[in-house]
Amino acid sequence: MTTIQMQPVPATHRAGPARTPDRGVRLGATTALGAALALVTWWWATGGGLGDLGGWESGLTSTGRLTGLLASVLLLAQVILMARLPLLEGAFGQDRLAQVHRLVGFTSFTLMIAHIGLIVWGYAAGDLLKAPGETWDLTVDYPGMLLAVAGTFCLVMVVVTSIRAARVRLRYESWHLLHLYAYLGVGLALPHQLWTGQEFLSSTARTVFWWTLWAAAAGSVLVWRVALPLWRSARHHVRVTSVVSEGDGCVSVYLTGRDLDALQARAGQFFTWRFLTGTGWTRGHPYSLSAAPDGRSLRITVKDLGDGSAALRGVRPGTRVLVEGPFGRLSERVRTRGKVALIGAGVGVTPLRALAEELEQHRPGEVVLLHRFTDQPLFARELDTLARERGLTVVPLPGRRRAPDSWLGDGIGRVDDLTALRARVPDIAERDVYVCGPEVWTGLVRRTLTAAGVPDGSIHTETFGW
């Protein structure tokens, strides 16, 4: 097996506890969203919205306008969340940002459906039997409504396929393609409000607000999801140098390029990769770095879990790669304590292995890696080298999951998760803990860590799967 040469991490890559104002960014983003929702609600109320609630028909229409305004703000906020702004990505982290994305997405969709139903019901004079005919009249007679209907269908498709029961039945590639329709849905659903909505056109301040919000959403996508990845890919000219089997269905892909140190990638982070091998290259796949970046090369290690990951085994040296990133908060930047525990399941050990390599030279026991695996551990030789050269303590957790409510393998015995964890890392409550694995498994680990007394701010997680 080919192994990567262990080298000291450049001093510019080393950092102590995170000093960036992540908490301030999170507070600022939440406050800005709340202020925007409050502002449009105030404009609705002072524009006659409250007075219209006195009548049945006018009340339906007025409430429909309010739900439409709130849905519009949240839909545009959703686009900004999808744009992967580095400031938000670094402050929230992938897992927390995904939770916010899910909450904002379903809330905005619910409000949009309520907006449609209330407006139609109100225009039908409160008579549900007239609603179908009124729906047709609104669609064909009002400017932009045909586009809005098409956008609504796109958003319905995205929301339906985002429900967990539907996601598990879809290939990642299919889900990713369908999810891109969210951009089209928002782009088609909102223009009718800019053209005809009185809440958008009744004052200069409102018009400026809405067009500014629109421009911010569209600009974020164009800059951070399109222009920047293309520019970085052209500048760094990333190419595959070799593909090496790691066993247990995993392969490592070694890559090189120009001025890779300018990417400012950190161990523990991930990129979205597009390998230019033919069909399917437009669908990006998020893979974590499995070795600490040294400014000259990158490495990812991927398990065969789908069409995209399976195809990597056949990628040829010299293949060009489009990269988007780096992303993720699972790095030393967020470290707040001297001692660290790394907990990974299966291929989830990849970012933790890279992080263990990048951490500054440490005394034995200062950094502990707990690796849960079923058949054979990943990176066994490399972890042995890290143990000898960097003082890493490796604690194997072998066996299949022993129970649905346990994150440990059956090789641990009958002891409960909390007791097993404390037996292996007695001072776990005094450590920063990095966790990477499937979503449900990671949740169980977090539950045990909380019970062990680890503060929430010292638990840093990243889940894989989609």
Lookup: tokens for 343: 């907990």
Instruction: Determine the Cα–Cα distance for residues 191 and 453; give it in Å rounded to an integer.
Output: 51
pLDDT in tens, 75-116: 899 888 888 888 888 888 877 888 888 899 889 889 988 988
Burial 107-122 (b: 16+ CB within 10 A, else e): bbbebbbbbbbbbbbb
Q: Write the CB contacts of 419 (distance below 8 Å, at least 6 apart in sequence).
A: none
DSSP state of 262: G
Assigned token pair, 366: 């200062």
Domain boundaries, the chain: 22-229, 237-327, 332-464
Better-predicted residue by pLDDT, 147 or 219? 219
Mean pLDDT, rounded, of the chain: 83
Whether 202 shows a pLDDT value over 80: the answer reads: no
CATH architecture of the domain with range 22-229: Up-down Bundle (1.20)
| Architecture in CATH of 237-327 | Beta Barrel (2.40)
Q: Say what the pTM is.
A: 0.81
pLDDT at 285: 85
> What is the structure's pLDDT at 403?
81
pLDDT band at 51 (very low <50, low <70, confident <90, very high): confident
Q: What whole-number percentage of the chain has pLDDT above 90? A: 35
**Looking at residue 308, what is its pLDDT?**
62
Lowest-confidence segment of 91-105, 182-196, 225-239 by average pLDDT: 182-196
With beta carbons less than 8 A apart as the criterion, state whether 78 and 186 touch.
yes
User: Which residue has 């499937």 as its token pair?
Assistant: 438
Buried residues in 292-308 as b, exposed as e (16+ CB within 10 A): bbbeebbbbbbbbbeeb
pLDDT at res. 219: 92
* Predicted local distance difference test score (pLDDT) of residue 306: 62
* 332-464: CATH topology: Rossmann fold (3.40.50)
Name the pLDDT band for 10 (thresholds 50, 70, 90).
very low
Beta strands (DSSP E) in 178-330 are 239-247, 250-256, 270-275, 285-288, 297-303, 321-327
Q: What is the DSSP string of 303-363?
A: E--SHHHHHGGGPPTT-BEEEEEEE-S-SGGG--SS-EEEEEEGGGHHHHHHHHHHSPP--
142-184 per-position pLDDT tens digit:
666 767 777 777 777 777 766 666 566 666 656 666 666 677 6
Better pLDDT: 119 or 162: 119
> Strand 340-345 and strand 367-373: pairing?
parallel
pLDDT in tens, 300-326: 999 876 656 677 888 899 999 999 989
* pLDDT value of position 7: 45
DSSP class of residue 16 equals: -
Q: Which tens digits make up the pLDDT trace of 391-417? A: 899 999 888 888 888 898 887 778 899
Average pLDDT over residues 330-350: 89
Report d(CA 297, CA 290) in Å as an integer: 11
The share of the chain scoring above pLDDT 70, in percent, equals: 83
pLDDT at 179: 65
Work out the angle at residue 117's Cα, subtended by the Cα atoms of residues 112 and 119, and round it to the nearest 5 degrees.
95
- Interval 13-31: pLDDT, tens: 344 444 458 888 889 999 9
Q: Is the pLDDT of residue 331 over 90?
A: no
Residue 382: band (very low, low, confident or very high) from pLDDT cuts 50, 70, 90: very high
Please give the pLDDT value at position 119.
Answer: 84
